[in-house]
Structure 1
Amino acid sequence: MNKQFYTLNETAELLSVSKETLRRWDNNGKLKSVRLPNNYRVYTQETLKNYTGGVGIFDMEILDENHYQPIKAYKTIELFAGAGGLALGLEKAGLECELLNEVDKWACQTLRNNRPDWNVVEGDIANIDFNKYKNKIDVLSGGFPCQAFSYAGKKLGFEDTRGTLFYEFARALNEIRPKIFIAENVRGLVSHDNGRTLETMIDVLESLDYKVLSPKVLKAINYQVPQKRERLFLVGIRKDLNINYSYPKPDEKIYVLKDALKAGKLYPNDVPLSSGQTYPESKKQIMDLIPPGGYWRDLPIDLQKQYMKQSYYLGGGKTGIARRISWDEPCLTLTTSPAQKQTERCHPEETRPFTTNEYARIQTFPDNWKFAGSMTQIYKQIGNAVPVNLGYAVAKEIVRALNHHTIEQELLERFAS
């Protein structure tokens, strides 16, 4: 695939020389680079062709880790920010947050406690005027709750979604006019109302002059998250800009519960002790009988019928009910309440739900991220969050896309002058 420019790493790879050699050639004029923001060096295809005498070295695409380091300050606004899972992923990728909006007071307190410098706006998004940020923001992100629309036999336009939180996301997009937006939601949105809800959302976003990429369900286990969580991502690019975004490629390694709770590659130490919910004695007696990796079908038949009641006679595996997670598997998707019936997530060795710190680790929050509120509120915040490492994987590709756009614009301006 031909490219218009090549980074320092790519050029060194193409010419089979070291980066130090390239820097020396640049300084003595043998092979000049173009200097961009932050002293970022790129080489144009024309320059390289002249140097090599037109040798065909340009039919290869090299992944350059430098692409993932922002070459300028990229600004973001996050809506429906929750406890900061996605925002932390964006921060980890080097993006700078200008504003976060969230209606839940405890989630807002969590954000303020951990990042006093973040501009956290608490309250109903409908009361926020975003016009002052117009054309000043690179990325708008957020996971608006999915609400049903009333179709009345026709496709809906922007105004017809008024009163929904999707409308507020679209309104913010229209007022801010960022280069890129990232919207995430539950995977169930794909099939909601036979796909018509998602189709309507895409139609509305396209009508606001954004090119919406094909929706993508990303599995968190593919992005250094020890959890079988899936989230739907929508990425849109302003139609007047030449920006190419690609969803992140899956990692080769799958992390499991042991990686979350024990010292290893994900964390340098075992999970710190913390409070957590407990099972009532009746449920504890049931869960004591479940082996690691097992669920309700590992109970004696009489207890299966007693515990499952009428659900015992219905179809489906219901493998999340009375489930004890094993050390060597990724955790099932965390819920907002770890002890409630039918979504049990039991510790591998101890007969109890995961503690709040264990919950946070399974969502790949750092240990120093402290959650505000009661235990119930903390579980809710963590269970609703986007896993930090999943957000990071998506955000790295945003940075790469913005870097390429920045470089292209800089080159066009220099060659035009």
Structure 2
Amino acid sequence: MKNKTKKIKLGEMFCGPGGIAKGAELANKKISKLFNVELTHAWAIDNDIDAIKTYMKNIKGVKNNSVICTDVRALDLNQLKNISSINAFAFGFPCNDFSLVGEQKGFRGKFGPLYKYGKEILDIFEPEFFIAENVGGIRSSNNGDALKEIISELSRSGKKGYRITTHLYKFEEYGIPQSRHRVIIVGIKNELNLTFKPPKPTHIGLKEFVTCKSAITKPIISKRAANNELTKQHPRVIERLKHIKPGQNAWNADIPNSLKLNVKGAKISQIYKRLDPKKPAYTITGSGGGGTHVYHWSENRALTNREKARLQTFPDNFIFEGQKGAVKKQIGMAVPPEASRILFEAIIKTLQKDSYEFVEPNI
């Protein structure tokens, strides 16, 4: 007689369109066979209505009351008990105030302190493990004190605390076709007496990286694919792109004076930057205006949202809700599902005391 599958109920805060949840579904293909364990949706929270609609459309197990659109500061977190208990928790707390691209306000900013709501969830539910994700820039925020304080607080969560592992992941080293570097904190309940180790990178060096061209063109995206509308480029933008070679941007390309940008101050490297087809993409972001849309290596245009979703490892049948700009934001803010899958598989192996190749934490 087959043993009953153990359900690991996953709660999420700042869930976005469902990159982490989709990764959990992908991880189930392996962990359900190896350990008779399955990650399942319990509840999810985000304040972006379009992201919530996307989550509800694509993630398995969603119920009418299990996905909540609200600002966490306006929610009584204890009410989540009425929806479901959890034994796993994930929160990619807002990165705006920790990003190197922004002002790096850290705890002084509007978004910096929001991780505390994740700590409240840990205090209330005491799940077996949690995952917290943020940008690499958090390491230097508030002179390095922000990350130390966050780790310290999370480690003291719940009645007996959590054993913390913090690591800077370079996702291109795990087969993600994008240079996306993120700090991920994994905590396992102290009473389990287990220590998580980051899984060993599977793609070492440029020759092994998955290129942006390969991700976008193999297989060819169907013309009927959702979220694949072309952006109408201004003739001046098209003319400018003609002078920018793959890998170059508006500042290091040989552009005629008549087409150069009149910018004073900081010159962000991603402005009108073409992808290099022989390398992973540069980081896909959800913010920014003209010139930040990520540009094709040979065609004089910005990528479609579906092409960006490919670079974020979302499958083509994952359909994003909302207008084009809202979809761009969702894609750029999400955790790549394949990165999430790799993390969940390693965490479940840790809980099951199964072996896997790992590296020592670098933070």
Alignment TM-score, normalising by the size of structure 1: 0.70
Q: Does 1:76 align with 2:10?
A: yes
Q: Closer, same or farther in 2 for the Cα pair 1:300/1:110, shift >3 Å?
A: closer
Distance 1:300 1:108 in 2: 42
Native 8 Å contact 1:272 1:357 kept in 2: no
Q: Does 1:248 align with 2:206?
A: no
Match of 1:215 among 166, 173, 198: 166
Q: Closer, same or farther in 2 for the Cα pair 1:337/1:135, shift >3 Å?
A: closer
Q: Closer, same or farther in 2 for the Cα pair 1:276/1:210, shift >3 Å?
A: farther
How far 1:288 sits from its partner (Å)?
1.4
Aligned partner of 1:325 in structure 2 is 275
How far 1:218 sits from its partner (Å)?
0.6
Identity of aligned residues (%): 29
Distance 1:293 1:222 in 2: 19
Distance 2:13 2:263 in 1: 42
Q: Does 1:298 align with 2:253?
A: yes
Q: Does 1:86 align with 2:20?
A: yes
Distance 1:381 1:310 in 2: 30
Which AA in structure 2 matches 1:223?
Answer: Y
Which AA in structure 1 matches 2:335?
Answer: V
Aligned partner of 1:166 in structure 2 is 115
Native 8 Å contact 2:43 2:84 kept in 1: no
Which AA in structure 2 matches 1:348?
Answer: W
Distance 1:257 1:177 in 2: 40
Aligned partner of 2:107 in structure 1 is 149
How far 1:291 sits from its partner (Å)?
1.6
Q: Closer, same or farther in 2 for the Cα pair 1:244/1:380, shift >3 Å?
A: same
Give 5+ residue unaligned stretches, structure 1. 1-34, 40-70, 152-160, 264-268, 406-417
Q: Does 1:258 align with 2:213?
A: yes
How far 1:135 sits from its partner (Å)?
11
Q: Closer, same or farther in 2 for the Cα pair 1:102/1:131, shift >3 Å?
A: closer
How far 1:240 sits from its partner (Å)?
1.6
Matches within 5 A, 1:183-198: 183-198=132-147
How far 1:217 sits from its partner (Å)?
1.1
**Deviation sequence 1:340-395 (CA, Å, 0-9, x none):** 23x35211121111001101101000110000000111111001111111111111
Distance 1:202 1:346 in 2: 37
How far 1:174 sits from its partner (Å)?
0.6
**Deviation sequence 1:215-251 (CA, Å, 0-9, x none):** 2111110122100111110111212222231112101
Distance 1:310 1:107 in 2: 35
How far 1:130 sits from its partner (Å)?
5.5
How far 1:133 sits from its partner (Å)?
7.7
Which AA in structure 1 matches 2:296?
Answer: H
**Deviation sequence 1:56-104 (CA, Å, 0-9, x none):** xxxxxxxxxxxxxxx7322211111001111111221122121111111
Give 5+ residue unaligned stretches, structure 2. 29-38, 98-105, 355-363
Native 8 Å contact 1:140 1:180 kept in 2: yes
Instruction: Compare 111-120 and 247-256 and name the one that shifted more.
Output: 111-120
Native 8 Å contact 1:226 1:257 kept in 2: yes
Q: Closer, same or farther in 2 for the Cα pair 1:302/1:78, shift >3 Å?
A: same
Structure number with greater CO (CA < 8 Å, separation at least 6) is 2
SS at match of 1:236: strand
Q: Closer, same or farther in 2 for the Cα pair 1:134/1:302, shift >3 Å?
A: closer
Q: Closer, same or farther in 2 for the Cα pair 1:275/1:300, shift >3 Å?
A: closer
Q: Closer, same or farther in 2 for the Cα pair 1:124/1:322, shift >3 Å?
A: closer
Q: Does 1:272 align with 2:216?
A: no
Aligned partner of 1:102 in structure 2 is 46
Native 8 Å contact 2:94 2:112 kept in 1: no
Q: Closer, same or farther in 2 for the Cα pair 1:244/1:117, shift >3 Å?
A: same
Distance 1:333 1:163 in 2: 21
Distance 2:120 2:202 in 1: 35
How far 1:131 sits from its partner (Å)?
6.5
Alignment TM-score, normalising by the size of structure 2: 0.80
Which has more radius of gyration? 1
Aligned partner of 1:122 in structure 2 is 69
Distance 1:237 1:331 in 2: 33
Aligned partner of 1:283 in structure 2 is 237
Distance 1:150 1:377 in 2: 27
Please, what is the CA RMSD of the aligned residues? 2.9
Distance 1:339 1:96 in 2: 37
Native 8 Å contact 1:93 1:399 kept in 2: no
Distance 1:395 1:278 in 2: 39
Aligned partner of 2:103 in structure 1 is none
SS at match of 1:370: coil
Distance 1:272 1:96 in 2: 30
Match of 1:335 among 285, 290, 294: 285
Q: Closer, same or farther in 2 for the Cα pair 1:224/1:377, shift >3 Å?
A: same
SS at match of 2:118: helix
Match of 1:397 among 327, 346, 350: 346
Higher helix share: 1
Native 8 Å contact 1:219 1:229 kept in 2: yes
Instruction: Compare 319-328 and 126-135 and name the one that shifted more.
Output: 126-135
Matches within 5 A, 1:372-411: 372-404=321-353
Distance 1:330 1:195 in 2: 29
